[in-house]
Amino acid sequence: MDEFTKAGQYVQVQTPNTDPSDPKVSYLAMSCPPDSSSLNFMVKKSDSTSFLFEGGDVKELKVSQPLGNGFGIGENVDGYKFDFPVSHILLLCTGTGIAPIKSLLTSSELSLGKNGRKATMYWGLSNDKYCDKVIKELENDDLNVIPVFSNPMKNERQGYVQNALEEDGIKVPRNTAVFVVGQKGMAEAVKRICEEEGVYGERILSNF
């Protein structure tokens, strides 16, 4: 699809059989890289997406073209805007918010491994239902994934991603870029922590 050019883009899906004057819609970010031959998503069950899980007779599904500008990497991460080049990437997301992060990681946009660039991902979850499979797909020598569970899980990190980030600190803030996907409170907390640590504000990026 020609309109899908950047990791972090999304589509609008209209729930079938709803009032046309007041339709229910969902915004779903692609979890695949932009050069994929088909679009993949990670969907959380809700009132507006339950039809995808129930196998009903859906004859027509209204889906928009890819929307948004994706993650604005450009000069903030790869250019010469700052004297300190990015050597480390921080990725923070919760639940199915990993979808646009997965798109980013499976594309070539982050250039992980180039000039020693590494990444750490904090992934907030309530349980480990599907996290092991996704982590195995993504984790490699250049990416360390840290799952953080809001519910008690034996031998696992507890709490919220912003708290885990604050506890761990940022080793090289001036050489770090941050990508965050999550609810407003979480995203604002991450931005505050990163700026207090010394990360350039322009290097704290979101897809919305």
Model confidence pLDDT, tens digit, residues 97-135: 999 999 999 999 999 999 999 999 999 998 887 788 999
Q: Which pLDDT does position 51 carry in this prediction?
A: 81
Q: Which pLDDT does position 18 carry in this prediction?
A: 73
CATH class of 74-205: alpha beta
Residue 201 neighbours by CB distance under 10 Å: 10
Domain edges within the chain: 74-205
Q: How far apart are CA 82 and CA 202, in angstroms?
A: 10
Longest dimension (CA), the chain: 57
Q: How far apart are CA 122 and CA 94, in angstroms?
A: 8
pLDDT < 50: residue spans in the chain? none
Q: Which pLDDT does position 39 carry in this prediction?
A: 94
Residue 194 · residue 104 · CB < 8 Å = no
Q: Which pLDDT does position 72 carry in this prediction?
A: 86
Question: If you ran DSSP here, which 8-state letter would residue 15 be given?
Answer: P
Q: Which residue in 189, 148, 194, 192 sits closest to 171, CA to CA?
A: 194
Q: Which pLDDT does position 174 carry in this prediction?
A: 96
Q: Which pLDDT does position 56 carry in this prediction?
A: 65
